[in-house]
Amino acid sequence: MRDAARAASVSEDKAGLAALPPLREVIKRHGLAASKALGQNFLLDEQLLDRIARVPGDLAGATVYEVGPGPGGLTRALLRAGAEVVAVERDARCLPALAELAEASGRLRVISGDAMKVDEAAEAGVGAHIAANLPYNVGTALLVRWLTIDAWPPWWRSLTLMFQREVADRIVAAPGSDAYGRFSVLAQWRSTARLAMPVHRSAFVPPPKVMSAVVHITPANQPKGVTIRAIEQLTAAAFGQRRKMLRQSLKAVPGAVAAAEAAGIDPSRRAETVSVAEFVTLARTLSAARQDC
């Protein structure tokens, strides 16, 4: 009976969403020109938005935490997929449009504020998905924040995020490629990262100067004997001077060069040739050496 009641409620909510005016009309009525200062580019293609909302899998009854919903394009798609959405919006101009969406759906809660200052786990709850067409000016900072949580598995179940294509390529890059770097290791050493779909610049209003892509990241098991602090230190040093040999770049981390030799990693190599698994081994060896001292 409870499931039937919920299904009926969701059906009513979807009917309310279907009655809403098109996004372009909402944007025009509320005067929501995209703000360059806030890194805004609105995505209006409903079919594309629905495809993005399907990337995490079945969202019926799931909670989704969304950053920077703007006029609510992706928000509508997430709601159509049956999700309960907690959205954080910094731009006060967008709040009236989001309030209309919240009233029509019954499954949207909007937080007015800076996403970098929100207690996300408290607001969205453990097990929530994160989905966002991230503002370009805070996207990488938020990603690093979500990937460097000490407690693992993290409070979030998956990340479905829109980035500039260049950033997306760096997240999923393999060793030896030009895009491979710190983001690649942070995203892959205890998570699985994949490129879910490319998005052409023409899909946005206004069109950005660069292409975009959606990345999907899910938590994996954290390797034993390795801390995020060790991974961060090693990758920051190694890729901070990526054209130099490890024996030079890793001098910034006490004991790291000796740990590389002990782990069987040739210090004459450069960072872009060191695999994620090798960085994990290096971090484990360094952590063990520090404990022995």
pLDDT tens digits, one per residue of 20-55: 888 888 778 878 776 666 666 778 889 999 999 999
pLDDT score, position 124: 97
Percent of the chain with pLDDT over 70: 91
Residue 272 near residue 175, CB atoms below 8 Å: yes
C-alpha of 111 from chain center? 19
What's the average model confidence in pLDDT over 256-278?
Answer: 97
Nearest Cα neighbor of 131 from 157, 106, 152 is 157
**Sole residue written with tokens 């909007």:** 110
pLDDT digits (tens, 9 = 90+) for 268-285: 999 999 999 999 999 999
* Amino acid code (one letter) for 161: L
Q: pLDDT band for position 210 (50/70/90)?
A: confident
Mean pLDDT of 227-248: 95
Digit-coded pLDDT (tens) for 71-108: 999 999 999 999 999 999 999 999 999 999 999 999 99
Q: Which of 217, 214, 169 is nearest to 191 (CA)?
A: 217
- Residue 134's CB is within 10 A of a number of other CB atoms, namely 24
The reported pLDDT for the residue numbered 34 is 65
Q: Looking at residue 8, what is its pLDDT?
A: 47
**pTM, entire model:** 0.90
Among 60-74, 75-89, 128-142, which is the least confidently predicted range? 128-142
Judge if the upstream peptide bond of residue 96 is cis by omega within 30 degrees of 0. Answer: no
Q: Which CATH architecture has domain 2-219?
A: 3-Layer(aba) Sandwich (3.40)
pLDDT for residue 2 is more than 80: no
Answer whether residue 149 shows pLDDT above 90: yes
Domain boundaries, the chain: 2-219, 228-292
User: What's the maximum distance between 2 C-alpha atoms anywhere in the chain?
Assistant: 67
Give pLDDT, residue 13. Answer: 59
How far apart are alpha carbons 1 and 24 in whole angstroms?
Answer: 39
> What 3-state class would DSSP assign to 154?
coil
Q: What is the arithmetic mean of pLDDT over 155-182?
A: 96
For residues 150-174, average pLDDT:
96
- In this structure, of 116-120, 188-192, 201-205, the range with the lowest mean pLDDT score is 201-205
User: pLDDT grade, residue 293 (50/70/90)?
Assistant: very low
The helix (H) or strand (E) run that includes residue 67 is strand 63-67
Domains 2-219 and 228-292 share a fold: no
| Domain 228-292, classified CATH 1.10.8.100, yes or no | yes
pLDDT above 60: residue 12? no
